[in-house]
C-alpha cells in the first residue's frame, strides 16, 4: 500500500462553504475523497482558497453518453493543492471525487492548471 493511501480522509460537501473547506483545507493529508452534491458541482465554477482559486470543471463525457467528468484543479503553482477527478452517471445526486495532492500525481497525468 502506498504511503498516501494510508492517510485518506472523507469529507462531504452539500454547500459552497463545505466544498471550500474540503478543497482548501490542508490538514496534512495527501489524499482525500469528497462526496459532493451534483447540483453544487454543476453550479460552482471555482472555490477560493488562500493559495488561489481551485477551478471546477463539469462536462458530459463524449465517449460515454449519460456520464459526466468532474474535475477540481488546484490553484496554479500550488504543489500542495488537491487535484480531484471523478466520473459519474448524470442521473445521480452525488459524486465521489478522488483527490490527490498535485505534487504526487503521475508524471504522465495531463495538467489543466
Element (H, E) at 105: none
What's residue 80's pLDDT? 74
What's residue 112's pLDDT? 54
- Residue 79 burial class via C-beta count within 10 angstroms: exposed 0-12, middle 13-18, buried 19 and up: exposed
- Segment 16-36, tens digit of pLDDT: 999 999 998 765 667 899 999
What's residue 63's pLDDT? 93
What's residue 21's pLDDT? 92
Residue 75 banded pLDDT, cuts 50, 70, 90: confident
pTM: 0.82
What's residue 8's pLDDT? 64
Question: Going edge to edge, which strands form the sheet with 46-49?
Answer: 9-13, 31-37, 94-101, 82-89, 67-73, 52-60, 46-49
Contacts of 108 (CB under 8 A, 6+ apart): none
Cell, residue 19: 466544498
Amino acid at each position: 500500500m502506498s504511503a498516501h493511501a494510508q492517510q485518506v480522509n472523507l469529507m462531504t460537501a452539500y454547500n459552497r462553504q463545505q466544498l471550500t473547506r474540503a478543497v482548501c483545507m490542508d490538514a496534512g493529508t495527501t489524499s482525500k475523497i469528497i462526496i459532493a452534491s451534483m447540483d453544487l458541482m454543476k453550479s460552482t465554477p471555482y472555490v477560493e482558497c488562500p493559495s488561489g482559486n481551485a477551478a471546477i470543471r463539469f462536462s458530459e463525457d463524449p465517449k460515454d453518453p449519460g456520464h459526466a467528468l468532474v474535475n477540481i484543479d488546484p490553484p496554479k503553482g500550488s504543489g500542495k493543492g488537491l487535484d480531484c477527478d471523478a466520473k459519474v452517471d448524470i442521473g445521480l445526486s452525488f459524486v465521489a471525487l478522488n483527490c490527490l495532492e498535485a505534487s504526487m500525481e503521475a508524471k504522465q497525468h495531463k495538467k489543466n492548471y
